[in-house]
Amino acid sequence: LSIIAFLELLDAGNKKGNLVQKSQVIATSSIGAFNRVPLAGYAYGGSKAGVVHLMKQFATTLVAYDVRSNVIAPGYYPSELTEGMLKAKEETGFTKAEVPLQRAGNEDDMAGVILFLASRAGAYINGNVVVTDWGRLSVLPATY
């Protein structure tokens, strides 16, 4: 668990006192953590749910060190896992039944979430999951 390995560094960052907000760990999971249909397989969904729960536990444990822990759960973004599907969707596009916004996420979408969590705007957030899927979970059997 690399978070523990960096705990001294995160704590040292807080002690410098030159930041508006405290140190933070931001992990990436997936909406697969909440989807009750194993579209990418049982191991994938289970491992992503594990990341979410681990980060929530760290959010509680690391309070003593003034370190926040949050998770980003993206939907369809370009990756090795989605490469084939996104290539096929270049011609047909997404339907509202698949993704209400009818497009995959892009670098700007992800950057916005990361900047929000890392900025003063997200400085009061700890132990939360930011789902960035433009409604994908809302059209699937899911718990979030």
Which one of 48, 76, 77, 89 is the catalytic residue? 48
Asked about 119 being catalytic, the answer comes back as: no
Which one of 16, 22, 42, 44 is the catalytic residue? 44
What does the alpha-carbon distance between residue 144 and residue 130 come to, in Å, rounded to a whole number? 10
Asked about 77 being catalytic, the answer comes back as: no
In one letter, which amino acid is 62?
L
Asked about 44 being catalytic, the answer comes back as: yes
**Backbone φ, ψ for residue 133 (5° rounding):** -135, 5
Which one of 23, 29, 30, 69 is the catalytic residue? 29
Q: Which residue has the tokens 């994908």?
A: 136
How far is the CA of 104 from the CAs of 8, 48, 51, 65, 126, in angstroms? Answer: 38, 19, 23, 37, 27
State the catalytic residues: 29, 44, 48
